[in-house]
Copies of this chain bind each other. A is one copy, B any other.
């Protein structure tokens, strides 16, 4: 059995995904009972389409972005075409835009309308229009997964939705953003101010030049929002998350915590109380009894408190594009695997 994949956006994650397919497709077929085949990739200049499957070997030798798609088309003597939605699953890898959700939102709605399943590495469309996408998918009876948009290689949706199936989750609390955790760790370990630590993070390529989405807590907020909506079948929006970033954390505050053997972490959380869920992101002081105390540097981690299984904590997971691509691949496999 073949499953036809259409990818939207051909950035670093999409390219790593293609490289993973190149090396893993045969073993996926033998282990999980289906062969994943990329038949289309949609970029800004149009769609690269080959019904028999794009040669990933060739494509991945050409860099990223629309230029790579154009280069491939020229080599093969074919034209980029307007998008069409005749695959089994859409793998959405366009850049996250939480203001408009685009272009991912339109891509997803088109693909769902055509009966395709959705696997997304991108947060924008879900943050902007979770309810709309969910309802469209439900109406069409198609599945959607978004591990890549909720801390990627750290299995957050999997634990909450699969490993804790049937259990009552009463609280989720996580360090979901590697950049802010790196900054806080660097402030702690080297006795630096926020600005000094941020500069180091930028020099190392960990923080972006405009770091506000990370340091103001929005990236963490998007992730806890998607997790909550995905796991609790809710339709919260970003406005429902109380958000406080780390930009006002001072050296003094860090020192004060250290003296008490505590650490300051940017925690994203959702708490169930009296059948009401509250979502927040804010810097919190935690003690060594909290397993997230030991999650340092760019690492991430998440704790699930449940009524039936007590507390489960997961930490780690690569934060590089290959890790995100592997999370996407996992979602694709879990959509179609033959279960035995």
Residue of B24, B309, B313, B327 touching A315 (CB-CB under 8 A): B313
* With A162-B162, A166-B326, A310-B153: A340-B137 Cβ-Cβ less than 8 Å: yes
Q: How far is the CB of A340 from chain B (nearest CB, A)?
A: 6
Closest to A134 in B: B340
Task: Please state if B327 and A316 are interface contacts (CB–CB under 8 Å).
Answer: no
Is the C-beta of A28 less than 8 angstroms from some C-beta in chain B? Answer: yes
Assign chain A's interface to a size class: 35 or more
Is the C-beta of A54 less than 8 angstroms from some C-beta in chain B? Answer: no
Task: Please state if B143 and A334 are interface contacts (CB–CB under 8 Å).
Answer: no
Q: How far is the CB of A18 from chain B (nearest CB, A)?
A: 14
Residue of B138, B162, B323, B333 touching A309 (CB-CB under 8 A): B323
Q: Which residues of B contact A330 (CB under 8 A)?
A: 162-167
Task: Please state if A308 and B334 are interface contacts (CB–CB under 8 Å).
Answer: no
Is the C-beta of A62 less than 8 angstroms from some C-beta in chain B? Answer: no
Is the C-beta of A192 less than 8 angstroms from some C-beta in chain B? Answer: no
Question: Which residues of chain A have a CB within 8 Å of any CB of chain B?
Answer: 20, 24, 28, 31-32, 137-138, 141-144, 153-155, 158-159, 162-167, 233, 291, 294, 303, 306, 308-318, 322-323, 325-327, 329-330, 332-335, 337, 339-340
